[in-house]
Structure 1
Amino acid sequence: MPKQLSILFLTIFNLTVCFSQTNKYSSIELENFKSKFYLNRKIGIDSSLYYMDKLSQSDNISYKTFAYAAIEYLKTREKQPVDINYYKNTIQSSLLNIPETKQNYSMLFDIYILLGNTNKRRNLIKPALDHYLKAENYALQSDDVERIIKIKGNIALIYQDMDELEKALLKGKETLALLEEKKQVLGNKYLTQKYKTELNLGAIYTTLYKKDTLNHKFIDSALTHYNKLLKNKDLNNEDYYTARIYYSLGTAYSLKKEYGNANMYLDKSLTLFKKVNSLSYLYKANYNSGYNHFMSNDYDKAKKHFLHALNLKKDTLLDYNYINTLNYLSKIYSQQKKIDSANYFLNSFLKAYSKMSTKERQQFKEAYKIDKETDFKKKIHKLNKQTYLYTLLISILVLTLIVAGIFIIKNKREKNKAKSKLDELLAKHSNSEYNLNTSNRIKINDEQHQQIIDGLFKIEKNHYYLKEDFNLYNAAKKIGTNTTYLSNVIKKYKKMSFNDYTNELRIDYIAKLLTNDKKIRSYTTQAIAEIAGYKNAKSFTRIFKKYTGITPYQFIEKINKEL
């Protein structure tokens, strides 16, 4: 019996604890917890999640379901890990237990709009629209003007995402008309909704113009809505709101290809977005500025903005702007002949592009008007080929300059040498009393060597070296010695070979003759060659140039000019 009483006591205690835990919040507390969700940007995500967690512990099924929907939305928006199946099943089962009575319409509206927002964040457009339409139904049934206007704006945006722009425009106009009709009822909330609606309508008209750039009424209507917002200080009384208007104006002018106006407004938006630390819009505005400068061929400024955009891209989720930023940077660096950087960004682009699904690739090509037949791998090959050709061209150019430089220096030295030698020859032979550096001036102690030197003197004096049959053997025979002795003596005392000795005597002779005899200068090269002891003009010309640096013809030409 005591054991049974103990079990009964524990059961009652547990039920009491459970009851007290699930029913400890009053309706005022529950509503206060719920309000913390709408303050999430002010109090911080962690604080909002904390209050939503407390709200999820309530035994009130409506607030509990709202809490689950709010947690799922916040985690999705902040890219935090979230168990999608758990929240989906929990929320769906909970919704079945909420009676569809008038007192629950407002809560059901709030839950379904959260579900729609979550699906939209996940790019699940059709499920998002279904939830928004259910939310609209509850707003209409409860005749809640504020909620009706809010959901119509959301539906307009979702139709825009679905590319059903006429429906989006219709919803936007309905919202604007309702706003003006219920202006007094809305009170202070009128301005906020007015701002959002005008901005949304401008965005819809902008998208319509993207589809039909020949219809300028669309872009003019967009600019009308944006300028209306800009002029009304009550509608842009905060830096963030004003920045959004500048950004929208910049985007519109960019579509009109008025890049000067576009950059002016985008620069203003960047200043304000930086001030309020709106990273997402800083990223988008930098991308748009980069695009405008690229289209204006201002590649340095384009590169600066594109690189800023990449630095602001902190998450790993791919988006079209990020992928196309890589594409544009590869083009810019390629244009600037910075091939390594061009290759880096093109490879990064291809890597990101390869992660896209077939449908996303098609949408990307259409969104950025990329040729469907573009083969990006060919671009890599082309850049690599450009790198190779550029390097080869530079190498060839440098090598050519080096060779040309060597040739010029060598040629200049040869010309200076030839000129010096020619001047020396002219000076030497212009004197009619010219005497060779004759052998009799050499005094040698060796009697046999002296005899050979004296014999060479006679050969030089009698011009025996001019004879066609003059050679080492005949010269030795004439002097009365042998070829070995003669060759050694010439090498020792003349510092040259017998052939060089013979050629020097002949060239010296003919140079003097040409200098002093005008008649000889009129002879043919062959005739002059024969006078000098050579059989043909070709060998004579070659030897003459070797010793003087110029041809016989050039030598004669110079003498005729100077004498």
Structure 2
Amino acid sequence: MQVEKTQMYRILFILIFSLYQNLCFSLSIEKFHIKDSIKATTYAKNLILNGKKNSNNVKLINGYLILSRFSNENKIIPYLDSVLIIAKEIDNREYLSDAYTYKGNHYYLKGDYLKSLDNYLLAKNFCEENSKNYNIINFNIGLLKLELENYDEAISLFLNYKSSLEQNKLTEKSNYVRCLYALAYAYNKRKDIKTSNQYLKLGFQKNVKAKNAKMHSNLLLIAGINEYNQKDYKKSLQTLAKVSGLIKTNSFDPQNLALSEYYSGKCLIKLNNSNFLKKFETIDSIIIKTKDITPELRDTYPILIDYYKKLQIKDKQLYYIERLLAVDNILYKKKSILSNQINKKYDTPILLKEKEKLISDLNSKNHILFWLLGIGSIFLAIALFLYLSNIKKVKLYKKKADFLLSNSKPSIVNNTDENFNSSTSAVVDNKIQKSKVKLSDDKFLQLSLQLEEFEKGKRFLDKNMNLDILSKELNTNRAYLSRSVNELKGKNFSQYLNELRINYIIEEIKTNTQLQKFTIASIAEYAGYNNAESFTNAFKKITSTLPSYFIKALQKNNAN
């Protein structure tokens, strides 16, 4: 009966949620009217209130999932993490897979492809092979492969997803059109224009029924780029003009607008038309606004620099060199291109030297450029200092991690299981004599035994555990327990609790190979912490290294 209810709520949720979010293709999400957002948010909050009132975890999960779609960006991950916590409690693999998939989509949209991939792989662990969600996740991973320019691998994943849609007779749906668009784009990047055009033709045919305006503009964009690659520049200009018009009219993805303007500009260059400058200036304004850049669009700046260099317009040269440096910085942070793909002619050292020469030439006209050079030098010095400091810190972390491995069991917490039984009475007697506060001998002995049980029972792994809760469990008051811990353990309660947890998790990580594969956030939860930051800080304070370095050292040691 409970299973039937769970399935009923899940189907209801999918019917409602599918109206608002495209979970398969994680490029840009369609805009919705504010009234739809309000209705969805209200519905979700009612689900959560009802779920809490009636202890209905399925309603809670569905409520949090809907809120993750219609909340501010900084609330999306917390809502999805709430789904994961509840789904783990009720051991629902479908919801675990869904939540990790949505987290992957979120990070993809933010350009954090490494986190996106991590979450997609976690999602795959909780869904059946060849299931609908399994194939969707593989398609999304294909999009990441596309971003990383692994075109063959991306195409293989796209083709598998296309086959699954065809087997399930879903070729008239928007997802099928999106898959065809992805294939057309991937083959375009591989310079296989013939195959790309074949998928475009099928995509246009299928989109007649799907009636997806955004997909129509996307397909037209690839068609225009293919025409450029086939050197039909006039036809390409006409096609791309339609694309730019559709994107501007419907407020579609600005990056696709930038791509359309980029290839329009390149067509104009081939046709010896100086209007390409307006196109490239539009691209620069889009990049400034969105901070979104691709290796393809990066090529705008070397073209502009060369153009103004021939005209000897130095202030324009300087501006676009500055822009190119900023763009390369964005690309580096996104890790979307490799350093060997950077144009050698405009490699960073050369750019900086040319920048210095230009500033020197323009110094008599504009004193502001002089200050730019000074600020740039300071920035480089700070960056170098931070880089060297980081190297030193990393070496220290690795050294401490190796030292931690060399000890069979870290002696972190005083009076642990191994030595407590044999010396409890002697320790207690000694502490009573030295105590600065007057504690009852019997009560003191009783508390020391209760703390031993507390450690043996691993109650310290409870996330909510604190001095108040433990004092109630031990039937004593807060102040008395605090003093007792200070006397018995030689530290305050917070230190005592952290060291118990870190001591425990170190041993668990050493012996549990599966735990070594967990994310730091998951390990933190396993160790009784509410978040990864608190866990990492406690681990570092006690061991002088980070959990990630300890795990790497352990894996390296096991490999040897």
State TM-score, norm by structure 1: 0.50
Among candidates 86, 97, 102, match of residue 114 of structure 1: 102
- Inter-CA distance 371–325: structure 2 relative to 1 (3 Å threshold): closer
Give CA-to-partner distance per residue, 1:67-96, whole Å, 9 cap, x none.
Answer: 445545655xxxx55158745753442231
| Aligned pairs for 1:513-552 within 5 A | none
Check if 1:229 corresponds to 2:217.
no
| Aligned pairs for 1:456-535 within 5 A | none
- Inter-CA distance 238–193: structure 2 relative to 1 (3 Å threshold): closer
Check if 1:290 corresponds to 2:252.
no
| Aligned pairs for 1:9-408 within 5 A | 34=17, 37-38=20-21, 41-44=31-34, 46-47=37-38, 48-49=40-41, 51-57=43-49, 58-59=51-52, 60-69=56-65, 71-72=67-68, 80-82=72-74, 86-87=78-79, 89-100=81-92, 105=94, 107-133=95-121, 135=123, 140=128, 145=132, 147=133, 149-183=135-169, 186=170, 190-209=172-191, 218-231=192-205, 234=208, 237-255=211-229, 259-280=233-254, 281-294=256-269, 296=270, 298=272, 300-313=274-287, 315=289, 317-320=291-294, 324-353=299-328, 357=332, 360=335, 363=338, 366=341, 372=347, 375-381=350-356, 383=358
Alpha-carbon offset, residue 248 of structure 1: 1.2
State TM-score, norm by structure 2: 0.50
Aligned partners of 1:356 and 1:153: how far apart in 2? Answer: 24
- Inter-CA distance 81–70: structure 2 relative to 1 (3 Å threshold): same
Q: Please say if residues 225 and 236 of structure 2, whose CA atoms lie closer than 8 Å, have aligned partners that are also in contact.
A: yes
Q: Please say if residues 66 and 111 of structure 1, whose CA atoms lie closer than 8 Å, have aligned partners that are also in contact.
A: no
Greater shift after overlay, 222-231 or 126-135? Answer: 126-135
Give CA-to-partner distance per residue, 1:420-453, whole Å, 9 cap, x none.
Answer: xxxxxxxxxxxxxxxxxxxxxxxxxxxxxxxxxx
Q: Please say if residues 259 and 297 of structure 2, whose CA atoms lie closer than 8 Å, have aligned partners that are also in contact.
A: no
Amino acid at match of 1:176: K
Alpha-carbon offset, residue 117 of structure 1: 0.6
Q: Please say if residues 233 and 267 of structure 2, whose CA atoms lie closer than 8 Å, have aligned partners that are also in contact.
A: yes
Give CA-to-partner distance per residue, 1:480-530, whole Å, 9 cap, x none.
Answer: xxxxxxxxxxxxxxxxxxxxxxxxxxxxxxxxxxxxxxxxxxxxxxxxxxx
- Inter-CA distance 387–353: structure 2 relative to 1 (3 Å threshold): same
Amino acid at match of 2:82: T
SS in 2 for 1:375: helix
Aligned partners of 1:273 and 1:333: how far apart in 2? Answer: 30
Alpha-carbon offset, residue 247 of structure 1: 0.6
Q: Please say if residues 156 and 169 of structure 1, whose CA atoms lie closer than 8 Å, have aligned partners that are also in contact.
A: yes
Aligned partners of 2:179 and 2:15: how far apart in 1? Answer: 28
Amino acid at match of 2:176: K
Alpha-carbon offset, residue 56 of structure 1: 4.3
- Inter-CA distance 148–34: structure 2 relative to 1 (3 Å threshold): same
SS in 1 for 2:264: helix
Unaligned runs of at least 5 residues, structure 1:
1-24, 210-217, 391-563
Aligned partners of 2:286 and 2:184: how far apart in 1? Answer: 26
Amino acid at match of 1:202: A
Residue aligning to 2:434: none
Aligned residues: 343
SS in 2 for 1:155: helix
- Inter-CA distance 374–83: structure 2 relative to 1 (3 Å threshold): same
Aligned partners of 1:129 and 1:56: how far apart in 2? Answer: 30
Aligned partners of 1:382 and 1:297: how far apart in 2? Answer: 33
Amino acid at match of 1:204: A
Aligned partners of 1:176 and 1:267: how far apart in 2? Answer: 30
- Inter-CA distance 351–235: structure 2 relative to 1 (3 Å threshold): same
Amino acid at match of 1:289: S
Q: Please say if residues 150 and 193 of structure 1, whose CA atoms lie closer than 8 Å, have aligned partners that are also in contact.
A: no
Give CA-to-partner distance per residue, 1:234-285, whole Å, 9 cap, x none.
Answer: 2674442221111112233445565445433322211222232215232332
Q: Which has the larger radius of gyration?
A: 1
Alpha-carbon offset, residue 112 of structure 1: 2.9
Aligned partners of 2:142 and 2:101: how far apart in 1? Answer: 13
**Greater relative CO (CA pairs within 8 A, separation 6+):** 2
Alpha-carbon offset, residue 169 of structure 1: 2.0
Greater shift after overlay, 172-181 or 337-346? Answer: 337-346
- Inter-CA distance 36–191: structure 2 relative to 1 (3 Å threshold): closer
Aligned partners of 1:92 and 1:355: how far apart in 2? Answer: 32
Alpha-carbon offset, residue 226 of structure 1: 1.5
Q: Please say if residues 173 and 210 of structure 2, whose CA atoms lie closer than 8 Å, have aligned partners that are also in contact.
A: no
Q: Please say if residues 207 and 215 of structure 2, whose CA atoms lie closer than 8 Å, have aligned partners that are also in contact.
A: no
Alpha-carbon offset, residue 64 of structure 1: 3.0
